């Protein structure tokens, strides 16, 4: 019997956990760490169940290589590497570095050493073809921050902990903590705001779990958050200061077209409700705003995030406690993993930290010519399920000369791969929570030694990437010997031992947690000279007035008959398209669509009826249920389900890509529904 402190690395919250061992020294249980100074015993169902995932019989234990009969068969690391090395070198020699594409999934973001290694390989190789789940999730957050702060990683941190009023748009923290947010005590921070007499307003087309818990809900027409924010900004125009940052005036001019009556008409939120929101921001209360993926996945995610910060600025809630904060050390991340922006061959999109838009990945593979992608290395991700238009992407992946999946499971992308290389779970590796430290309010940088040794033939992703870099002839640090050393250093075993004495020095200050003291964002980062560099507009946004007007026109027209607006939702036990392999039974329960009762009646549907949901690019079949949280005219389908992949319904057409961020419009598409 024994125990070890660790932390969950599924999402940004990094909740503290205790790993418990049985008499034989085997890890047999994970439980919340009530003494953890930040999460204080909070843990969600995903974290609690992670040991089932790490021990799942479907885990890939050895490298797999496709044989001449087209089947994936176990092989040695040397055999797998021989195939990859030969093909990679040939592709680079014959077609250049851009013929190699790299995709990394969200789980890898929480693996700091891997990200450092991967970005070193990207620098050494120089391919422009980097992709990630960012363009389906949060690319517009990066784009907005680049415009306002000149840096992608200076994220706004909603200070829920000290706010009196919080406006939450398109986020459902009770089910998923949210992107780029790290809350002490998990969702209890929101409860505490209510308990101290504050108010939370949840703006969502659906009466979500969070809206039900924190009571005040504004049911908004899908995709129209931008008009609500413009109306609020317009009502704050008299607060425009003499020394306003660049671009704020342009934003206010844009907002003139959307006063409260117009916004009310477009959003379906009553005028009185919008007026009461404005009153909060005009009061002396500490007000914060946070937008989640529900807003990012619409058409105007970048503009929404800029408007949120402009509202905070005019109302005196920018860079202050209880409002929106910025981490003073956020720039460090930029230095470590920043790479030169690249321009895509297809569509001319400019890359950001998460790479190029996944919406063009199929075209980059299928379109012949110089720079056509011929090899794709996928690390901890499942683009076939998480990127738009599965059908076309499948066609593209089948055409690749080399597809490598580095993963703990054989997912849908892995099923098409030439080689699968088995990686580690976070229980089997050392980690430092550096990635999230740039936008969290915790006063510490957590570290965790591995909770158990790697199983079977699994291997650290850091080592795999360093070794692939050597095999490709483009070694990290531009040096084979350094790359070899980097690959062979036993990071997971050695670093915790080296750090131990250093951490001991801080153990009292960190109240027993493992790690190092870290600065909390306190407000006041943008004092003096720095404030002058803020900028709320960029010429890249010059097309926004027309796009806003066009969408407003579209909203006035009746929706084509018998169509619904498709909206996604997160699931309690899975993270996007990841870890569903470990929760098959739960997945079956979650694989259903939700409709409003009037729509169920109109379509003569009863609970559990099997329906086909069809868009212009594909169709899925699944049972449908009446759900009282759903707005009339919308259909809610969970995303990331492998067998009924909602992204099959989302076209990869470039008109759905936000031009300056590369973010794909993932929600609000028109679909039809028919009983089977």
Helix (H) or strand (E) holding 21: strand 16-21
Q: How far is the CB of 17 from ligand SF4 (least distance, A)?
A: 7
Surface-to-core class of residue 305, CB atoms within 10 Å of its CB (0-12 exposed, 13-18 middle, 19+ buried): buried
Size of the site for ligand SF4 (CB under 6 A): 12
Instruction: Verify binding: residue 43, ligand SF4, rule CB under 6 A.
Output: yes
- Strand, coil or helix: what is 32? strand
Structure tokens at 497: 């031992």
HSE, side-chain direction, 13 A CA sphere, residue 180: 28
**Interface residue with ligand SF4, options 5, 6, 8, 400 (CB under 6 A):** 8
Given the rule CB under 6 A, which of 39-47, 307-315, 346-354, 506-514 is the region that contacts ligand SF4? Answer: 39-47
Instruction: Verify binding: residue 437, ligand SF4, rule CB under 6 A.
Output: no
Rank residues 10 and 384 by Cβ distance to ligand SF4 and give the closer one: 10
Rank residues 137 and 418 by Cβ distance to ligand SF4 and give the closer one: 137
Q: How far is the CB of 107 from ligand SF4 (least distance, A)?
A: 11
Surface-to-core class of residue 365, CB atoms within 10 Å of its CB (0-12 exposed, 13-18 middle, 19+ buried): buried
Instruction: Verify binding: residue 19, ligand SF4, rule CB under 6 A.
Output: no
Q: How far is the CB of 176 from ligand SF4 (least distance, A)?
A: 8
Q: Provide the 10 A C-beta neighbour count for residue 377.
A: 25
Rank residues 4 and 484 by Cβ distance to ligand SF4 and give the closer one: 4
Helix (H) or strand (E) holding 375: strand 375-379
Rank residues 30 and 613 by Cβ distance to ligand SF4 and give the closer one: 30
Instruction: Verify binding: residue 54, ligand SF4, rule CB under 6 A.
Output: no
Assign residue 60 a region: left if phi > 0, alpha if psi is -120 to 50, beta otherwise?
Answer: beta
Residue corresponding to tokens 């329960």: 589
Q: How far is the CB of 32 from ligand SF4 (least distance, A)?
A: 8
**Interface residue with ligand SF4, options 5, 6, 14, 565 (CB under 6 A):** 14
Report the Cα 90 to chain-centroid distance in Å. 34
Instruction: Verify binding: residue 47, ligand SF4, rule CB under 6 A.
Output: yes
Q: How far is the CB of 12 from ligand SF4 (least distance, A)?
A: 7
Rank residues 51 and 310 by Cβ distance to ligand SF4 and give the closer one: 51
Given the rule CB under 6 A, which of 43-51, 289-297, 470-478, 550-558 is the region that contacts ligand SF4? Answer: 43-51
- Interface pattern 132-171 for ligand SF4 (x via CB under 6 A): ----------------------------------------
Residue nearest to ligand SF4 (CB): 47
Structure tokens at 83: 């195939």
Q: Strand 72-74 vs strand 216-219: parallel, antiparallel, or unpaired?
A: unpaired
Q: Which of 327, 383, 332 is nearest to 355 (CA)?
A: 383
**Interface residue with ligand SF4, options 177, 372, 661, 665 (CB under 6 A):** 177
- Strand, coil or helix: what is 672? strand
Distance between CA atoms of residues 667 and 671, nearest Å: 11
What distances in angstroms separate CA 115 from CA 107, 125, 649, one per listed residue?
11, 15, 31
- Interface pattern 186-225 for ligand SF4 (x via CB under 6 A): x---------------------------------------
Instruction: Verify binding: residue 13, ligand SF4, rule CB under 6 A.
Output: yes
Spatial CB neighbours of 411, under 8 Å, sequence gap ≥ 6 = 382, 384, 385, 405, 577, 578, 581, 642
Rank residues 8 and 666 by Cβ distance to ligand SF4 and give the closer one: 8
Distance between CA atoms of residues 213 and 359, nearest Å: 36
Instruction: Verify binding: residue 442, ligand SF4, rule CB under 6 A.
Output: no
Instruction: Verify binding: residue 38, ligand SF4, rule CB under 6 A.
Output: no
**Interface residue with ligand SF4, options 5, 46, 327, 474 (CB under 6 A):** 46
Torsion of CA 410, 414, 415, 421, to 10 degrees: -70
**Interface residue with ligand SF4, options 6, 10, 184, 492 (CB under 6 A):** 10
Q: How far is the CB of 67 from ligand SF4 (least distance, A)?
A: 37
Residues near ligand SF4 (CB under 6 A) are 8, 10-11, 13-15, 43-44, 46-47, 177, 186
């Amino acid at each position: 019997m024994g125990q070890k402190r660790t932390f969950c690395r599924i999402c940004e919250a990094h909740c503290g956990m205790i790993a418990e061992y049985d008499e034989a020294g085997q890890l047999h249980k994970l439980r919340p760490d009530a003494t953890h100074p930040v999460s204080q015993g909070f843990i969600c169902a995903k974290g609690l169940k992670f040991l089932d995932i790490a021990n799942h019989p479907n885990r890939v234990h050895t490298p797999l290589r496709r044989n001449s009969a087209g089947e994936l068969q176990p092989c040695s690391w040397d055999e797998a590497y021989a195939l990859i090395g030969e093909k990679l070198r040939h592709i680079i020699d014959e077609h250049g570095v851009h013929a190699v594409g790299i995709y990394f999934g969200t789980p890898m973001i929480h693996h700091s050493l891997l990200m450092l290694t991967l970005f070193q390989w990207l620098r050494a190789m120089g391919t422009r073809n980097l992709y990630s789940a960012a363009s389906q999730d949060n690319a517009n957050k990066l784009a907005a921050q680049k415009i306002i702060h000149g840096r992608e990683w200076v994220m706004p941190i909603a200070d829920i902990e000290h706010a009196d009023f919080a406006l939450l748009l398109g986020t459902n923290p009770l089910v998923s903590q949210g992107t780029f947010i790290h809350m002490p005590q998990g969702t209890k921070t929101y409860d505490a705001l209510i308990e101290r007499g504050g108010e939370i307003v949840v703006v969502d087309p659906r009466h979500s779990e969070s809206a039900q818990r924190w009571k005040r809900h504004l049911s908004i027409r899908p995709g129209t958050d931008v008009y609500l924010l413009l109306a609020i900004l317009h009502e704050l125009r008299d607060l425009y200061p003499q020394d306003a940052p660049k671009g704020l005036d342009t934003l206010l001019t844009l907002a003139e077209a959307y006063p409260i009556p117009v916004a009310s008409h477009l959003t379906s939120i009553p005028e009185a409700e919008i007026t009461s929101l404005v009153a909060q921001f005009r009061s002396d209360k500490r007000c914060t705003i946070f937008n989640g993926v529900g807003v990012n996945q619409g058409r105007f995610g970048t503009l929404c995030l800029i408007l949120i910060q402009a509202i905070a600025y005019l109302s005196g809630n920018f860079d202050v406690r209880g409002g929106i904060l910025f981490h003073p050390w956020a720039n460090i991340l930029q230095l470590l993993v920043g790479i030169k922006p690249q321009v895509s061959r297809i569509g001319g999109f400019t890359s950001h930290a998460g790479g190029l838009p996944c919406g063009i990945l199929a075209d980059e593979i299928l379109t012949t010519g110089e720079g056509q992608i011929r090899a794709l290395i996928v690390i901890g991700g499942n683009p076939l399920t998480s990127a738009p238009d599965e059908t076309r992407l499948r066609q593209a992946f089948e055409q690749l000369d080399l597809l490598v999946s580095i993963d703990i499971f054989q997912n849908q992308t892995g099923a098409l791969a030439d080689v699968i290389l088995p990686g580690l779970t976070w229980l089997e590796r050392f980690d430092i929570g550096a990635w999230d430290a740039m936008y969290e309010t915790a006063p510490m940088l957590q570290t965790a030694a591995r909770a158990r040794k790697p199983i079977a033939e699994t291997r650290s992703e850091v080592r795999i990437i360093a070794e692939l870099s050597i095999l490709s002839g483009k070694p990290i640090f531009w040096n084979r010997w350094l790359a070899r050393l980097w690959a062979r250093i036993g990071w997971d075993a050695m670093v915790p031992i080296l750090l131990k004495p250093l951490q001991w020095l801080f153990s009292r200050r960190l109240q027993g947690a493992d790690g190092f003291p870290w600065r909390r964002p306190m407000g006041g980062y943008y004092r003096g000279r720095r404030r002058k560099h803020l900028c709320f507009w960029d010429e890249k946004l010059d097309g926004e007035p027309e796009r806003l007007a066009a969408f407003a026109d579209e909203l006035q027209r009746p929706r084509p008959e018998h169509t619904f607006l498709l909206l996604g939702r997160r699931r309690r036990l899975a993270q996007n398209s990841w870890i569903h392999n470990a929760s098959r039974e739960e997945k079956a329960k979650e694989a259903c669509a939700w409709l409003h009762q009037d729509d169920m009646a109109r379509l003569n549907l009863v609970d559990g009826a099997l329906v086909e949901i069809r868009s212009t690019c594909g169709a899925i079949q699944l049972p449908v249920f009446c759900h009282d949280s759903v707005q009339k005219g919308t259909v809610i389908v969970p995303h990331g389900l492998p067998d009924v992949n909602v992204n099959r319904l989302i076209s990869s057409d470039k008109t759905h890509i936000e031009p300056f961020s590369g973010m794909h419009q993932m929600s609000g598409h028109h679909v039809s529904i028919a009983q089977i």
